[in-house]
Amino acid sequence: MFFLGCHLSSSGGYVAMGETALSIRASTFQYFTRNPRGGSARPLDLEDMAAFNEFARRHGIGTIVAHAPYTLNLCSNKPEVREFARMTMRDDLERLQHIDHVVYNFHPGSHVGQGADEGIAMIVDALNEVLTEEIKTPVLLETMAGKGSEIGRSFGELARIIDGVHLKEKMGVCMDSCHMNDAGYDVVNGLDGLIEAFDREVGLERVKAFHLNDSMNSFGSAKDRHAKIGEGEIGLEAIVRIINHPKLRHLPFNLETPNELDGYAREIQLLRSRRTGG
Ligand code: FE
Ligand code: FE
Ligand code: ZN
């Protein structure tokens, strides 16, 4: 199965997202758990969630990705910002208990002058407080571009976070092709080497989702600006190698390219036409 989708608006609820996904031939999707710049979540709609579980089963929708808001920063230097991030994460994970096949992805955070070591320690501390045995949703760290003081620009930083978490079995990673390119991982000419390095440093079995984005910026630029597939520095052929790679091809792939729905539909069609072996 090819699980390919894109980022969708969550304003109509889960079944509505599922229907939108099908309308553009997507077999998975991603959405923000709440306003990406923070704020409150939609009211909890258990009926919609149960209906979506059934809908996903019936239509073969693969594991979906719930993305935490960008403003969530577990390693801010302000205690109230850190506490808000923990509360948000706890609430998101509690809600996700009602969805059968979902992973929760978040940006590890940006330290605010206190340095990466202190930042990583704060993230670990927060995860150890928020994660409980009962939580069934895998929690993914996204590979980051390294813009500003972002944590997670290297596989080593992700490994250090996971190492510090007591309930490691709950932890995973979401790779982002734009971010890895911008962080200086060679997704264009060195995909096998990148996968080997990740496996050595983190363990490939931790990868649970993939963001497919081209990049407006060059290799190692530490910038993070997504481009449409084939219109950036990564290029279509490198993206095609990712979706067909024997060690990655089972993952849910989501586009986060600068597109409206019709643009996503075209990219999905393009990538479906380049997928080998079903
Ligand atoms: Fe992200
Ligand atoms: Fe991403
Ligand atoms: Zn990005």
Burial tier of 237 (Cβ tally within 10 Å: 0-12, 13-18, 19+): exposed
Q: Is the pLDDT of residue 37 over 80?
A: no
For position 181, what pLDDT does the model report? Answer: 98
Question: Phi/psi at 222 (nearest 5 deg)?
Answer: 55, 45
Ligand 1 centroid – CA 106 distance (Å) = 7
Condensed to tens digits (0 to 9), the pLDDT of residues 43-76 reads 899 999 999 999 999 999 999 999 999 889 999 9
Ligand 2 centroid – CA 16 distance (Å) = 22
Ligand 3 centroid – CA 70 distance (Å) = 10
Ligand 2 centroid – CA 152 distance (Å) = 12
Q: Domain containing 79 — which CATH number?
A: 3.20.20.150
For position 168, what pLDDT does the model report? Answer: 98
Condensed to tens digits (0 to 9), the pLDDT of residues 196-243 reads 999 999 999 999 999 999 999 999 999 999 999 999 999 999 999 999
The answer to whether residue 29 is domain-embedded is: yes
The answer to whether residue 67 is domain-embedded is: yes
The answer to whether residue 69 is domain-embedded is: yes
148 three-state secondary structure: coil
For position 40, what pLDDT does the model report? Answer: 79
Ligand 2 centroid – CA 171 distance (Å) = 17
The answer to whether residue 278 is domain-embedded is: no
The answer to whether residue 181 is domain-embedded is: yes
Give the residue-averaged pLDDT of 142-166: 98
Ligand 1 centroid – CA 142 distance (Å) = 6
Structural domain total, the chain: 1
Give the residue-averaged pLDDT of 143-152: 97
The answer to whether residue 127 is domain-embedded is: yes
Rounded Cα distance, 257 and 228, in Å:
5
Instruction: List the shell of residues around ion ligand 3, using CB closer than 5 Å.
Output: 224
Q: Which ligand does the CA of 70 lie closest to?
A: 1
In order of 20, 59, 135, 189, 236, the CA distances from 97 in angstroms are 23, 21, 7, 40, 37
Ligand 1 centroid – CA 200 distance (Å) = 24
The answer to whether residue 80 is domain-embedded is: yes
Strand pairing class (214-215; 226-227): antiparallel
8 Å CB contact between 62 and 3: yes
Q: Which ligand does the CA of 256 lie closest to?
A: 2
Ligand 2 centroid – CA 7 distance (Å) = 10
Q: How would residue 124 be classed by pLDDT, with cut points 50, 70 and 90?
A: very high
Rounded Cα distance, 93 and 70, in Å:
16
Rounded Cα distance, 278 and 262, in Å:
23
Ligand 3 centroid – CA 31 distance (Å) = 14
Full domain range(s) for residue 184: 4-273
Positive/negative CA dihedral, 109, 213, 192, 220: negative
Instruction: List the shell of residues around ion ligand 1, using CB closer than 5 Å.
Output: 142
